[in-house]
Structure 1
Amino acid sequence: MTDYLAIYLRDQLALGVTWRALARRARDNNQGTELGEALAQVADGIAEDVRTFEAITRALGVRPNPAKVALAAAGERFGRLKRNGRWVSYSPLSRFLELEGLAMGIEGKKILWHTLGELAGLRERLPGTDFDELLDRAARQRQTLEPFRREAGTQAFVAKK
C-alpha cells in the first residue's frame, strides 16, 4: 500500500465522520415527520458505512488520524453557526442545506467506493468487502433523500404568495 492511499483513507474517514454527524443532526431536526423517518434510515446507513470504512482501514493496517477526525467534527459543528435566514430557529434553508450536504456526501461516497474497489485495487485485496453492495446502498440512500431535497429546495427558494 502506498503512503498516498493511507493519507486518502485517513482523509475519507474524517469526511465520513462529518457526514454521519450531519445525517444525525438532520434526522434530529426533522423527527416525527416523513422526512425524519427517511433521514433516520439514511443516518443508520451512513453510520454503517463509516463502520465498514473503519474495518477496511483496519484490515489495511491504517490507523486513523485523531486530529483529522476531530477537526472534521469541529468543522461540521462550526458550520452550524452560519446564517440560515433566521437568527435562532431552524429554517427552510437549514433543511435544504442539510439535505444538499447529505446528497453531496452520498455522491462522494459512491466515488469513494469505486476508487477503493477499482483504482486502489481493494476489490481483490479485500474479497470480503462487497463494493457493489456499498455502491448500491449509497444509490438507495441518494434515491431516498432526493424527493425531500427537491421539496426542501422548492420550499426554501420559491416565494409564497
Structure 2
Amino acid sequence: MHPFTSSRPDLLAIYLNDHLTGATAGLERARHLQRTAEGSELGTALGPVVAEIAEDRESLLEIMRDLGVPVRRYRAGVGWAAEKAGRLKGNGRLLRRSPLSSVLELEALRLGVEGKAAGWQTLRRLAAGDPRLDARRLDDLLERARRQRDVIEEWRIRRAGQVLRQE
C-alpha cells in the first residue's frame, strides 16, 4: 500500500492546523514586508505575491473544510503573534529599520513558501486515495508556490547584494 493512500484524521487535523499557523504567520510577514517596501520596486514586485499568499491561506481553509478538519483558531492566533514577536529581534539599529531587515524578511518568506509547497505536495500525494482532495487544484497551488519562490529568491539575492556588498 502506498504510504499516502490513507490518512489518520487526528494527525491530518494537527498537520493542517500547523500549516494554517504557518500560513497566518507567513501572510503577516509578507504584508509587513510589502508595507515597509511600499513605493519601491520591491514593494511593487511583492504586491501580486502577497495577494497570492492570502489566496493560498484561503485555499488551505477551503481544503480543511472539504476534509472536515476543524480550524483551531487559537493556533492561527499563535502564528499571528509569533510573526509580530519575530520583528523584535535585534537588527543593529535601535529606532529605525535596518537595511538588513528586508534581506532577513525575504529569507523568512522564502522558507515559508517552501514549507507551504511541502504541504501542498503532501496533500497532492494524499489526493490519490482521497476523492475529497482535488489533485488539479493542488497541482496549481504547487506551481504558484514555485513562482512565488522564484520572485522572492530573485529579490532576496538582489537585496542581499545591495546590503552586504562592501563598496
TM-score w.r.t. length of structure 2: 0.89
Distance 1:93 1:79 in 2: 14
CA RMSD of aligned residues (A): 1.7
Kindly indicate whether residue 24 of structure 2 is the aligned counterpart of residue 17 of structure 1: yes
2:55 maps to which of 31, 34, 48:
48
Distance 1:123 1:47 in 2: 25
What amino acid is the match of 1:13? L
Separation in structure 2 between the aligned mates of residue 109 and residue 122 of structure 1, nearest angstrom:
21
Aligned length: 160
Alignment gaps of 5+ in structure 2: 1-6
Select the residue among 138, 141, 156 that pairs with 2:163: 156
Q: What residue in structure 2 maps to residue 103 of structure 1? A: 110
Question: 1:18·1:72 contact (CA, 8 Å) conserved in 2?
Answer: yes
Over the matched positions of the two proteins, sequence identity in percent amounts to 41
Give runs of ≥4 in structure 1 deviating > 4 Å: 119-123
Equivalent position to 2:95, from 88, 106, 109: 88
What's the counterpart of residue 13 of structure 2? 6
Counterpart of 2:36 (choices 29, 35, 49) is: 29
Shifted more, 64-73 versus 28-37: the winner is 64-73
The letter of the residue matching 1:138 is A
Whether the 8 Å CA contact 2:100–2:163 is kept in 1: the answer is yes
Counterpart-to-counterpart distance in 1, 2:115 and 2:34:
20
CA contact (8 A) 1:123 1:129 kept: no
